[in-house]
Chain A
Amino acid sequence: MRRDGRTDPFFDGAAADRLVIRRCERCDRWYAPDHGGCSGCGDEELSWAEATGEATLVTWAVKHGRPAGDGTAPPPAHLALVELAEGPWLHARLDGVNASALREGLPLRASFVHPDEGESYLLFRPA
């Protein structure tokens, strides 16, 4: 994963284990890092601000990889919509969960992975 010049503050935050998203100071509304502008006032110059990293599970899907020739299947990916404590929803990947324990409203917390190569990235784990 690489930066794109538009969402770099998110990756700066991720590198320091902080969830940095967009915010309209005037309207006191929070948005996802790739959101275009404030739906309230139309301001296109949203600022960047640190969110708490607390979230709840809205809904999820499980992607099962196709088994390889030797019959071994890759571990399933748990993909979700999560609702940040500040209000916005993010499409997110869950980590450290099993499907049977998932439920609407499950408390989650932002967690960051720092690979050797490429940018740090965001996952959500049960709080």
Chain B
Amino acid sequence: MGEGAAIAGLGMTELGRVYGRSPRRLAADAVRRAVTDAGLGLADLDGLVVSHGLGGSPGIELADTMGLRDLRVLTVMNSFGATAGAMVAYAAMSVISGAASAVACVFADAPLRPRQSSGSAYQRDAREWYGFGGMTAALGFRDVNTPYALAARRHMNRYGTTSEQLGAIAVSTRQWAVMNPLAQMREPMTLADHQNSRWVAEPLHLLDCCLVSNGAIAVVVTGADRARDLARPPVHIWGWGQGHPGHSKERGSEFGLTTGAAVSGPTAMKMAGVTAQDVDICQLYDCYTYTVLVSLEDYGFCAKGEGGAFAASGALGPGGALPTNTGGGQLSAYYMWGMTPLSEAVIQARGDGGERQVAKNDVVLVSGNGGILDHHSTLIVSPHRKGA
């Protein structure tokens, strides 16, 4: 397995307000589509790695549901939004080591219900609150938006980052989404639209926040030599890394200022034999505009504290120096946790981006961010064999 590992198949179900299919059914559909995309059959799979979303998602029993037999790798992995990168890394190690030869990695979730707001899908509610944690929730800490707003405000206070700079990320991401038939939000957006959108948790406007989507996405990882003979162009996995900073909740904490990308990025880039200057396309986990901004800094695409100015320079949009979230990301396309950036990375590395395809796609960086900036993963992928 001297040639390493590659993504040979990509399977995506319908994404967004997709009702009537359980997360298990969605996961099975995505795996079937990924296998078919690769030109394989289900019987060719000998590994399955499952990542679940909020709830009701399948575990390892998915293998039984799908009738998969004699698997050599089967597990659930969870580092929240960093899971997709971790799954692909584990799948790559499995095929490189010989533990398995074709491993499907799948994420499925269906948090949306008909006639329910997107925000309520990620909000805690209770008739009565108990204990100190309950008191904190009762006083307003019931959602994910608030802690990210705290992080963004800290970055603003420390570095002078502005809401307009965050808005530049929302706008450039939408510019990409307009060109993506899979995107949920394809109406053009202006900076004024961003500024006029309601506060979700100040300093975050509605248009600083990602969508919520139902659906599933899977990839199939095989050895690179095998992938070359399959149906689609291989997407070679050059490097991977993780970073879990464990920000303490006390004096001296770096919460909001730096992320696990500062560790995850260099680990993956060193393995891949590249530097930030070599990266052609970024697919960054954009649960909020702010996470894009702070990740850009931690990956070294600009200096710490200059993410706002970098974003506002137009670098991230179509025609910019660092095309970023070229499918519209989680902000404007679809929210499949870490599978959102990964799926668009595969599309771009294959040259399947259509109207939005970036011409230079030799090195694509994929990031995942989990929890409240607690977990980070990085993948470096390419249409080319490593070292070729």
Chain A interfacial positions (CB closer than 8 Å to B) = 1-7, 10, 32-35, 39, 58-64, 66, 76-77, 79-81, 83, 87-89, 91-93, 99, 103-104, 119, 121-123
Contact = CB atoms under 8 A, between A and B. Distances in A.
B202 A59 contact: no
A58 B251 CA distance: 9
Interface of B: 128-136, 138-141, 146-147, 149-151, 153-154, 157-158, 198-199, 201-204, 248-251, 253, 255-256
Contacts of A7: 131-133
A59 B150 contact: yes
B249 A88 contact: yes
A-B pairs, top 9 by smallest CB distance, nearest first, are A4-B131, A61-B149, A62-B202, A59-B154, A7-B132, A93-B139, A4-B130, A33-B132, A89-B249
A10 B136 CA distance: 13
A89 B250 contact: yes
Contacts of B149: 61
Contact of B203 (A39, A61, A119): A61
A3 B253 CA distance: 30
A79 B134 contact: no
A61 B202 contact: yes
Given A2-B129, A33-B132, A64-B198, A59 B151 contact: yes
Nearest to B246: A39
B157 A61 contact: no
B138 A99 contact: no
Contacts of B249: 32, 35, 88-89
A59 B198 CA distance: 21
Contacts of A89: 249-251, 253
Contacts of A1: 128-130, 134-135, 138
Nearest to A14: B135
A79 B141 contact: yes
A79 B140 contact: yes
A63 B201 contact: yes
Contacts of A80: 150
A29 B129 CA distance: 28
A34 B135 CA distance: 11
B150 A79 contact: yes
A3 B201 contact: no
Given A32-B249, A59-B256, A62-B202, A2 B128 contact: yes
Contacts of A103: 157
A93 B249 CA distance: 16
Given A59-B151, A104-B157, A119-B135, A39 B248 contact: yes
Nearest to B253: A89
B246 to A, nearest CB: 9
A104 B155 CA distance: 11
Q: Which of A34, A39, A91 has the most CB of B within 10 A?
A: A91
B153 A61 contact: yes
Contacts of B198: 64, 66
Contacts of A61: 146, 149-150, 153, 201-204
Nearest to B138: A1
A58 B147 CA distance: 12
A71 to B, nearest CB: 14
A73 B350 CA distance: 50
A34 B250 contact: no
Given A32-B249, A121-B135, A60 B140 contact: no
B245 to A, nearest CB: 14
Nearest to B139: A93
Given A60-B153, A103-B157, 13 more contacts: A3-B130, A4-B132, A6-B131, A10-B132, A34-B131, A61-B153, A62-B201, A63-B146, A64-B198, A80-B150, A88-B250, A89-B250, A121-B138
A2 B153 CA distance: 31
A96 to B, nearest CB: 14
